[in-house]
Amino acid sequence: MKPLAAASLALGLAGLLLAGCGLSDVPVPEPPVPGTSLPANFPAPVYALDANPPNAAAFALGRSLFYDARLSRDGSVSCGSCHQQFVAFANAGHRLSHGVANRLGTRNAPALQNLRWKSEFFWDGGPKNLETLPLAPLTNPLEMDETLPHLLAKLNADPDYTRRFVQVYGPGPINSYQFLRALAQFTAALTSASSRYDQVARGEHGAVLSAAEQRGRVLVAQQCASCHATDLFSDESYRNNGLDATFGADSGRAHITARAADVGRFKVPSLRNVALTAPYMHDGRFATLEQVLAHYDHGVVASPTLDAALRPAGGPLGIPLTAAEQADIISFLKTLTDDAFVHDQRLAEQP
Amino acid sequence: MKRFSISICTLALAALALTGCKKDGDMPANQVGTVDLAFEQTVGTAPLALSTQTYTTPAGDQFKITTFKQYISNIKLTKTDGSVYAVPNSYYLLDAAVPATQELALKDIPVGDYKALTFTVGVDSARNVSGAQTGALDPNNNMFWTWNSGYIYTKLEGTSPQAPKAAGATEGGLVFHIGGFLRPNNTIRTVTLPFPTGTNLLIRTDHAPEVHLNADVMKMFTGPNTIRFATLSNTMGGANSVLVANNYAAGMFSVEHIHAN
């Protein structure tokens, strides 16, 4: 009785599976969607896996959108133009980035990594959801300069996109919801957690740090981790790190909050892959990590909103670091480079 | 043994199902009806006519309105016994240029006698940051700020001879984009309108009542804060938007009448 029941159950299930797939085409197993496992050394994500459950076809759709220059008004710029995988999806060698018609933006393009763990985006925290974030660069006249209705019309006129959206989201024209959800399938998949530092932190593969890297790790924990906190290496706060005395060109967080207390404060960026993401700061003013550390050592400028961490009682502004300490810190920062991430073919533009 | 346990299971399920059915049939609370909320805009006492009509504020500024769009959300109905029914997922975008958008058909309202209507002018803070949306909240409705996530709750655009204008022009533009949910510039406002004395809203299974509501657009510019277009003609969130929100919370909306139907 029991074996028979089990057998009929198995047959029934097999029948269901066959009916679902169609008898003729044997499905090729999809490679797993990147970023579907949550790193053990990370906190709980903001954009949970079940918020937009990873799906191979939806992820591939999002990837196509990310690399498609037709998303810009004149077809000249894609998301990937200014967010290049080989530099952790920052813009290599660009203080500021070029939008359509070679227009120059106003801020340095940040790395796109571990976005699943962020509740506010950009240097000023304006966009507050991973799904709606892309609407900003898509419509910014200095970036992609497109309108959402026109963009959707272009997608709906493309037979390949319409076929693929129907496959994932069912029949009907492509709408903004489907477009934004598909794009988020890709952006949420950009998890960088395979650096040598991560392997050490998780005790994997017998990875170790050199003496200099280890000294740098201790220094970062002591001197930098009040802002570059947790294994995400940012506390996601907005701080004035003493770049200028006034902030007429870019008020930073105050652009969003309109509060005087927020003038000159910018989002603390992650240190992950920082060796790849030059130039640095919201305006890309520093070309090297050496310049960045020199700034913290002796370049910090006073202003009313300068962060308290850079105003030690009775001492000079900034974080005093000897040349040897700076070198050790940079040695450690290089262990945060995630080669597997920047070379993951699944995240690359597909032929 | 196995068969026996299956039978018990089946019986238990059947019992559960029966209990569920019985409850549904006997409880009047589960009977539902519909109500339509019919919105209309006036400017003072004159009907809102887009682009053609010139209006004058009590302070003496002339203006025309070319666009008027407004979110009404989180609708609640209060029964005469004081209990409140919140209409789930109630988000509507009124557009003065599209009459159909001004008729809000509320379904599955528990039958009963209701004495007041409450709604949010705008969108609750949670939905401002909830990611991709459909329907009234679709960012494709051109009511979503991309650079600072959040909806424009009320959008009034137009012209005024008093507004700052380009050299040689006779009129300047009016851009009142009221939105924002972060303190101190939160512009989400909730309005409660008691139904006129002696006229409760009766929701029944066999009636389709209509509540006619008026929104006096002039109230954006008068009330607690007098808005003069020479000094304020363009706001997209922030402290000036709060002035306008406080104005419209103080008396823009009124219940005209209820059709029992």
Phi, psi of A259, deg, nearest 5? -105, 135
| pLDDT score for A32 | 84
What residues does B236 pair with on adjacent strands?
B177
B88 and B185 share one domain = yes
pLDDT class for B18, splitting at 50, 70, 90? very low
Residues B11 and B71 reside in one and the same domain: no
Q: Which two tokens stand for residue A340?
A: 């597997």
Q: Is residue B84 located within the same domain as residue B3? A: no
Above 70 in pLDDT, residue B3? no
Question: Using CA atoms, how far apart are residues A267 and B223, in angstroms rounded to an integer?
Answer: 39
B235 shares contact with chain A (CB less than 8 Å): no
Mutate to test the interface with B, among A135, A138, A175 (most CBs of B within 10 A): A135
Contacts of residue A350, defined as CB under 8 A and 6 or more positions apart, other chains included, come to A60, A63, A64, A67
Q: Are residues B115 and B53 in the same domain?
A: yes
Is B126 near chain A, with CB under 8 Å? no
**CB of A4 less than 8 A from some CB of B:** no
Judge whether residue B20 has pLDDT over 50. no
Q: Are B175 and B234 in contact (CB under 8 A)?
A: yes
Instruction: Give how far the C-alpha of residue B101 lies from the chain's centroid of Cα atoms, to the nearest Å.
Output: 11
**pLDDT, averaged across chain A:** 92
Residues B66 and B130 in one domain: yes
Q: In chain B, which residue's Cα lies nearest the Cα of A136?
A: B146
Is A82 annotated as belonging to a binding site? yes
Q: How far does A190 lie from chain B, in Å, by closest CA? A: 18
- Whether residue B187 is found in the same domain as residue B217: yes
**B104 and B21 share one domain:** no
Cα separation of A271 and A277, whole Å? 9
The torsion angles phi and psi of A56, rounded to 5 degrees, stand at -60, -45
pLDDT digits (tens, 9 = 90+) for A164-177: 999 999 999 999 99
In terms of Cα–Cα distance, which of A290, A294, A289, A281 is closest to A321? A294
User: Cβ of A118: how many Cβ atoms within 10 Å?
Assistant: 23
Number of structural domains, chain B? 2
Containing structural domain, residue B218: 31-259
Residue B11 has pLDDT above 90, yes or no: no
Size of interface A-B (CB pairs under 8 A): 65
What average pLDDT does the segment A141-152 reach?
97
Q: Which of B148, B181, B182 to mutate to test the interface with A (most CBs of A within 10 A)?
A: B148
Q: Please check whether residue A129 touches B, CB under 8 A.
A: yes
B19 lies in the same domain as B144? no
From the list B129, B148, B239, the residue facing A129 with the nearest CB is B129
Whether B159 and B197 share a structural domain: yes
**Could you give the angle at the alpha carbon of A156 between the alpha carbons of A154 and A160, nearest 5°?**
100
Residues B235 and B131 both lie in one domain: yes
Set of chain B residues whose Cβ sits within 8 Å of the Cβ of A46: none
Secondary-structure breakdown of chain B: helix, strand, coil percentages, each rounded to the nearest 5: 20, 40, 35
Q: Write down all domains in chain A, each with its CATH number in brackets.
A: 53-191 (1.10.760.10), 196-339 (1.10.760.10)
The pLDDT of A187-210, averaged and rounded, is: 97
Integer Cα distance of A88 and A91 in angstroms: 9
pLDDT digits (tens, 9 = 90+) for B88-120: 999 999 999 999 999 999 999 999 999 999 999
Query: Is B245 found in the same domain as B197?
Result: yes
Where residue A88 falls (left for φ over 0; alpha for ψ -120 to 50; beta otherwise) is left
Same domain, B20 and B85: no
How many distinct helices (H) and strands (E) make up chain A?
A: 13, 2
The ipTM is 0.84
**Do B138 and A176 make contact, defined as CB atoms within 8 angstroms?**
yes
DSSP notation for A68-98 = -GGGSTTS---HHHHSBGGGTTB-TT-SS-B
Is A21 a known ligand-binding residue? no
